[in-house]
Amino acid sequence: MPRNNYLLIVFDSCRYDAFVKARPRTMRKLGRLEKRWSYASWTAPSHYNLLMGLMPHSSPRGVFASDYYQRDFLKFNERLGAEGLEFKRFVPRLYLPVLLQSLGYSTNAMVSLPVLNPLTALNSGFDSYRLMERHNDLRAMFPQLRFSDEKPSFYLLNTGETHYPYALPEESPEEWPRISGVHGVFKHLDDHVVGGKLRRSRTRPFNAAKLAELRDRQIEAVRYLDRAMEELFDRLPKNTYVTITSDHGELFGEDGYFGHGPIQHEKVLEVPFLEGKLR
């Protein structure tokens, strides 16, 4: 039986309740939407976990961590359309692209956030790894997808429409919202430069109305991505398994927090998770 193509799609910074509020229809066709928890609150370490094969976890009670990890890895039998794929196949590298190469896959990544650029350690076991020209244009990846009858394909797609400033591709940067003290860190998102300059400044209180606007923008970004998924699903071969999730959540002023990273809060760890095979 031929192996499945496998797509791992990451909506950067998308929190679970924003995804639910958007009420996506196309993505829900894959299967049941779950609330899961990221292993990390920042983009790079979270993607490392994902590429180890560790999907956001369900935080089960009464279970040894080692047992949970093994069951989580065994899920790749379903994702890949494989039989007898055991945890020991992931060892010693514990890196999904390397395993997939050993199984005859073409391995590819298209990422949107500069902290995931091809010079990072994440670029291991990939036949192709590309940082996109813009941080917020998932649709620009679609024409680059290639599938062959000769060998199955794996793609990591990371997209930033749901990342601050929660901007859609057709929106001019001049129209992006600005938060003083935050925007400077991200103003170079469309350059191949990691971040801007952090300036020392006195702590300013968050503007509640502005943060509510930003949350609404993330919800609208999910709606946009749901429409994009309809176009994507039409392009994919039928023997394709798709996982859609987020690397971490986001804070919009709850308990005095904004954003993600050096934050310990449930909303920065709650992420959407759904997956299934196209039929």
pLDDT of residue 184: 44
pLDDT of residue 96: 96
Tell me which residue range forms the domain holding 208: 5-277
Residue scoring higher pLDDT (96 or 208): 96
pLDDT mean over 114-122: 96
pLDDT of residue 206: 67
Tens digit of each residue's pLDDT (9 = 90 or more) over 202-242: 455 568 888 899 999 999 999 999 999 999 999 999 999 99
Q: How many domains does the chain have?
A: 1
* CATH code of the domain containing 107: 3.40.720
pLDDT band at 88, cuts 50/70/90? confident
CA distance 137 to 145: 14
Residue scoring higher pLDDT (187 or 111): 111
On whether the pTM is more than 0.95, the answer is no
pLDDT band at 182, cuts 50/70/90? low
